[in-house]
Amino acid sequence: MIKFTAFVLAVVMGCSSLCFADESDVRPEGAVDISEEEIAYIEGELENGRTTEEIAIDLANNAAVSFTSYSSVTWVKKSGKWYCKDSSGIYIKGFAKISGAVYYMNSSGVMLTGWQQISGTWYYFASSGAMKTGWQKISKKWYYFNSNGEMLTGLQSIGGSYYIFNSSGAMATGWKQYENKWYYLNSSGAAKVSTWFKSGSTWYYFGSDGVMATGSVSIGGKYYLFNGSGAMLTGWQKYNGEWYYLASSGAAYTGWIVYGGQKYFLDVKGMMLHDTEVGEYELDSEGHIITRPEPDPEEPDPTGYFKTDAEDEAVTLINNIRKAEAVSIKKEYYVPVVMDSTARDRAHTRCKEIVSNFSHTSASGNSMGSECIYEGDGNKSASQIVTAWKNSTTHYNLLNTGLTKSTCASHNCGIGIYVEGGKTYAVFGTRGANTGTPPASGYVAPTATPNSYTSDEDYISQDNIS
């Protein structure tokens, strides 16, 4: 049975209505087929604890594999080795699915057990010959095998947590460097994410992707500075040729401070300003004040731009989520969303409106109805925006509007992703359904890897959705 856990987050919601997937069993016109291989793979990975985002990435990499099934076989034991014949009496070779389990017979027809490397990939078969999947403890070490039985290596996202597996497949724990980035893996193997960690007398911080922080990093609305080894710094510190001043807690001081009888001005990151002007004061090369009143500097002209490629990518990511949700409610098809130029123009208008008024009220009358809106610091990717919506129950339901609605070939949608003033704004909404000829192509692989968000109590998201 497919198992799906809904993570409920408290968010500011102003949606005019809640939209849920149509429970009708009538297959809608134009619905896109989900292959038997994809259904089997999605069901298996959900049972193994994988999230829909993780499964969507796997599907993009053509992870679903079909094994030949045999309904009637005869097992034969010769010279202590097992062989298997099909209903025609022919010895089976290669992978075979028999009574729900997968076996592998070599070129001589011998059933294999234990560790086996097949076409460059490692598998593990029980003494019965059945192929193992999911988490397996073998010789006191933990390994993970996907639904195809393939042993995983490297950095992997499983069940919403990050793990690192050595080249041998064994799960790592403790400090681990992977692709020039450092992680700390708990005894369970799960990486620390969005949390502080004290080792000895030194504090470290790990981001939402599990990577150890270095350099200047914003955490909980304050900036901290970490050296190249990840150690949190305090006091006066020189970093990339500039001086910073940090409290004993590690948080950067900001604004005007007095130190050694001198006044200094520190920016939001705690960096001491020099050779510039702050208000009516001019600062010299050492950050000291030269009293010389000057006119207030003019505010820079804010400029913004739309990320149209990211908007198209967001449509693909939303359709992957719709596909996984369809399987989780026992459907073999789903109705995709397609970008509509008129709806996209409306979404662009709404993006600029929420810069100054983050609400569902449109001053220009271009409301998207039951829309999803987003605001986040920095230049955010499509996957980060879609994941933020996906992790909210209300917005997840909006992303799956009319998922299996009858007589519906597709849903028109509009998405706008806009960057201005160091922040990213996004709007998503649907605009009616299409009937008649279905889309030429159903499933399109995403071009980016969705980030995994966590509900860890130490993580404070700076993104805003509604």
Same structural domain for residues 73 and 99? yes
The torsion angle over the Cα atoms of residues 52, 54, 59 and 65, rounded to 10 degrees, is -100
Percentage, residues of the chain above pLDDT 70 = 81
| CA angle at 455 for the pair 321 and 14, rounded to the nearest 5° | 65
d(CA 138, CA 124): 9
Q: Domain boundary residue among 291, 314, 335?
A: 291
Same structural domain for residues 76 and 173? yes
Rounded mean pLDDT, 375-402:
91
Q: Is 449 a domain residue?
A: no
**Looking at 293-336, which runs of residues are DSSP E strands?**
304-306, 333-334
Determine which of 94-103, 298-307, 408-417 has the lowest per-residue pLDDT on average. Answer: 298-307
Model pLDDT, residue 367: 81
**Contacts for 364-368: CB closer than 8 Å, 24+ residues apart:** 368/343, 368/414, 368/427, 368/428, 368/429, 368/430, 368/431
Q: Domain boundary residue among 169, 185, 201?
A: 185
Domain containing 257 equals 213-291
SS (H, E, C) 77-100: EECCEEEEECCCCCECCEEEEECC
Write the single-letter amino acid at 157: S
Determine which of 32-36, 80-84, 308-312 has the lowest per-residue pLDDT on average. Answer: 32-36
pLDDT of residue 424 exceeding 50? yes
HSE, side-chain direction, 13 A CA sphere, residue 301? 1
Q: Is 240 a domain residue?
A: yes
pTM as predicted? 0.51
Q: How many domains does the chain have?
A: 3
Model pLDDT, residue 382: 94
Same structural domain for residues 42 and 132? no
CA 197 to chain centre: 23
Model pLDDT, residue 68: 87
d(CA 394, CA 370): 10
User: How far is CA 450 from each of CA 209, 234, 322, 447, rounded to the nearest angstrom?
Assistant: 11, 34, 15, 10
Q: Is 272 a domain residue?
A: yes
Of 297-301, 402-406, 439-443, the range with the highest mean pLDDT is 402-406
Same structural domain for residues 86 and 156? yes
Name residue, tokens 């993570």: 7
Q: Which residue has the higher pLDDT, 307 or 406?
A: 307
Same structural domain for residues 77 and 177? yes
Question: If pLDDT is split at 50, 70 and 90, which confidence band does 88 have?
Answer: very high
The two counts, helices (H) then strands (E), for the chain are: 6, 32
144-175 pLDDT per residue, tens: 999 899 999 999 999 999 999 999 999 999 99
Rounded mean pLDDT, 93-121:
95
Structural tokens at position 445? 């692989």
Structural tokens at position 317? 């990511």
What's the chain's average pLDDT?
83
187-236 pLDDT per residue, tens: 999 999 999 999 999 999 999 999 999 999 999 999 999 999 999 999 99
Same structural domain for residues 87 and 124? yes
Q: Is 457 a domain residue?
A: no
CA 253 to chain centre: 33
pLDDT of residue 441 exceeding 50? no
Structural tokens at position 36? 């038997």
Model pLDDT, residue 58: 62
DSSP of 365-400: S---SS-EEEEEES---HHHHHHHHHTSHHHHHHHT
Evaluate whether 441 touches 410 at the Cβ level (below 8 Å): no
| Closest alpha carbon to 272 in 292, 286, 289, 291 | 286
d(CA 387, CA 416): 16
pLDDT of residue 455 exceeding 90? no
> Cβ contacts of residue 15 below 8 Å, gap of 6+?
360, 370, 371, 372, 394, 395, 398, 466
338-384 pLDDT per residue, tens: 999 988 999 999 999 999 999 888 888 888 878 999 999 989 999 99
d(CA 153, CA 146): 11
Same structural domain for residues 175 and 281? no
| Closest alpha carbon to 242 in 223, 261, 220, 229 | 223
Q: Is 159 a domain residue?
A: yes
**SS3 at position 322:** helix
Percentage, residues of the chain above pLDDT 90 = 61
Q: Is 53 a domain residue?
A: yes
pLDDT of residue 55 exceeding 60? yes
Q: What is the CATH number of the domain that holds 85?
A: 2.10.270.10
Let me know how long the chain is: 466
10-32 pLDDT per residue, tens: 222 333 333 444 445 677 776 77
Question: If pLDDT is split at 50, 70 and 90, which confidence band does 63 have?
Answer: low
Evaluate whether 193 touches 208 at the Cβ level (below 8 Å): yes
Model pLDDT, residue 461: 42
Q: Is 239 a domain residue?
A: yes
- Enclosing H/E stretch for 312: helix 308-328
Model pLDDT, residue 42: 76
